[in-house]
Amino acid sequence: MVLKAIKARIYPNQTQKEQLLVNFGCVRFVWNQMLNMQIERHKNNKDAKYQNHFAMNNMLKAMKLEYPWLKQAESTSLQVANRDLDDAFKRFFNKKLKNGFPRFKRKKCAQSYTSKAVKNNIQVLDNHHIKLPKLGVVKYRTGRKITGKIKAVTLRINSQGQYYLSVLTESENQTFKKTGKVIGLDLGLSDLIITSDGIKHDTIRFDKDMQAKLRLHERKLARRLHKAKVEIAFDKHEKVLFPRTKLTQFPRYQAERKTVAKLKNKVANQRLDYLHKITTKLVKDYDVIVVEKLNTNGMLKNHHLSRSIANAAWSKLVSLLDYKCKWYGKQLIIVDPKNTSRICSNCGKKNHDFDKLTQQEWLNTREWNCPNCQTHHDRDVNAAKNILARGLKTLA
């Protein structure tokens, strides 16, 4: 049995939208209150024991008596907020993960909440309607059929004001047929993926395709933001009877903000769709996939290549391969890529002629001949072959 999440666009009516906003606010309030309690408790007594999510759930009863409006929220969503906060603290305490201290949630950040499936409170009625707690029947649209036992649902609103639903289901593991093939992958910028078989998958710059249009609307957004701030300052200075104090009171600015968010969201969706197609094909065709582990955060510090690196989305690609291999009975191996481009995949000797090159000269070197065995190498294909060899060593 495996857990799968299916994302769907939902279309709530006005009453359901109001209930969603109430639930977002209640979950955010509980998170902030519990986080503040943990902080104050530690300040007052540093020897006090940490309160886990079971203890925080017990505190919810008293909190609902003090704040009766919390009862408007779906009850399990508040418990999930405590569980997520507990998980955030555990990640912070874990020195290996090096996660930061949990932060307070703001209304301006992405709003979401998760409800657990209890006693058939979540039911898929047909291919376009789902029954949710506190909301009732909601219309949805998705490219995949929701099947399996429902474990939880997560509802969220994006920057465009669109509502989405993620359904976590438990279903039987459906494995792909074994092919007996293995592959090594080298990740790059000009070519997104270079395989040890010599196949190259191009990098598509979706951000550049949208750049001109996005730049036009971002300029328009900046002008409308400036005008809105001037109007707010004017109302305050003139002491008008009903002053405008928030950006939400300027519909032209809000409309342009949603347009910019829509364009950026389109780029992200195009990139994700492309990665899904590539990774699914790789998982179908190969039983063992070996990929390099890249320090993406460190590489993003190079301001000349940061936009190209962000567009490549290597981390997302590896995460897609990871869960798809688990779903479909394949194996993913991640190896250290050090010197994979400088070692000859034929004789295994390192080419020390590259040690004298500057970083730019090394990046411009796309092909080379091994001084030991005279084998001609494509730099990226050679790296992919070495990555595959390192991965297979871990299996031996």
- What one-character-per-residue DSSP string does 202-244 give? EPP-HHHHTHHHHHHHHHHHHHHHHHHHHHHHHHHHHT-SS--
Query: Which two three-digit tokens encode residue 156?
Result: 């969220």
CB 60 within 8 A of CB 78: yes
Q: How would you class 242 by CB atoms within 10 Å of its CB: exposed for 0-12, middle for 13-18, buried for 19 or more? A: exposed
Q: Which pLDDT band, with edges at 50, 70 and 90, does 341 fall under?
A: confident
Computed over every residue of the chain, the mean pLDDT equals 90
206-264: pLDDT as tens digits: 888 899 999 999 999 999 999 999 999 999 999 999 999 999 999 999 999 999 999 99
Is the dihedral angle over the CA atoms 370, 376, 378, 384 positive or is it negative? negative
Q: Which pLDDT band, with edges at 50, 70 and 90, does 3 fall under?
A: confident
Residue 363, pLDDT above cutoff 80:
no
123-154: pLDDT as tens digits: 999 989 999 999 999 999 988 888 889 999 99
Looking at residue 137, what is its pLDDT?
A: 95
Query: Which two three-digit tokens encode residue 237?
Result: 């200075």
Is residue 304 within a helix (H) or strand (E), and if so which, with residue range? none
Looking at residue 78, what is its pLDDT?
A: 95
Residue 59, pLDDT above cutoff 80:
yes
The conformation of residue 246, written as its DSSP 8-state character, comes to S
pTM above 0.75, yes or no: yes
Query: Which two three-digit tokens encode residue 128?
Result: 């376009």
Is residue 10 within a helix (H) or strand (E), and if so which, with residue range? strand 2-11
Residue 122, pLDDT above cutoff 90:
yes
β-pairing, 288-292 with 182-187? parallel
Looking at residue 254, what is its pLDDT?
A: 93
Looking at residue 48, what is its pLDDT?
A: 86
The conformation of residue 170, written as its DSSP 8-state character, comes to E
The conformation of residue 6, written as its DSSP 8-state character, comes to E
Q: How would you class 106 by CB atoms within 10 Å of its CB: exposed for 0-12, middle for 13-18, buried for 19 or more? A: exposed
Q: Which of 106, 188, 163, 217 is nearest to 379 (CA)?
A: 188
Separation CA 21–CA 163 (nearest Å): 11
CB 345 within 8 A of CB 382: yes
Looking at residue 396, what is its pLDDT?
A: 66
Separation CA 139–CA 49 (nearest Å): 45
Q: Which residue has the higher pLDDT, 324 or 2?
A: 324
Q: Which pLDDT band, with edges at 50, 70 and 90, does 395 fall under?
A: confident
273-299: pLDDT as tens digits: 999 999 999 999 999 999 988 888 777
Q: Which pLDDT band, with edges at 50, 70 and 90, does 28 fall under?
A: very high
- Which residues make Cβ contacts (< 8 Å) with residue 298, sequence separation at least 6? none
Residue 183, pLDDT above cutoff 80:
yes
Q: Which pLDDT band, with edges at 50, 70 and 90, does 102 fall under?
A: very high
Q: Which pLDDT band, with edges at 50, 70 and 90, does 364 fall under?
A: confident
Residue 77, pLDDT above cutoff 70:
yes
Looking at residue 15, what is its pLDDT?
A: 96
297-311: pLDDT as tens digits: 777 877 788 888 888
Separation CA 382–CA 373 (nearest Å): 14
- Number of H helices and number of E strands within the chain? 11, 14
Query: Which two three-digit tokens encode residue 20?
Result: 């969603």
β-pairing, 123-124 with 331-335? unpaired
CB 2 within 8 A of CB 171: yes
CA angle 266, 270, 275 (to 5 degrees): 150
Query: Which two three-digit tokens encode residue 315?
Result: 């981390």
According to DSSP, the residues that pair with 137 across neighbouring strands are 131
The conformation of residue 100, written as its DSSP 8-state character, comes to P
Looking at residue 322, what is its pLDDT?
A: 93
Q: Which of 245, 94, 244, 115 is nearest to 168 (CA)?
A: 115
CB 210 within 8 A of CB 265: no
39-53, 106-120, 361-375: lowest mean pLDDT where?
361-375
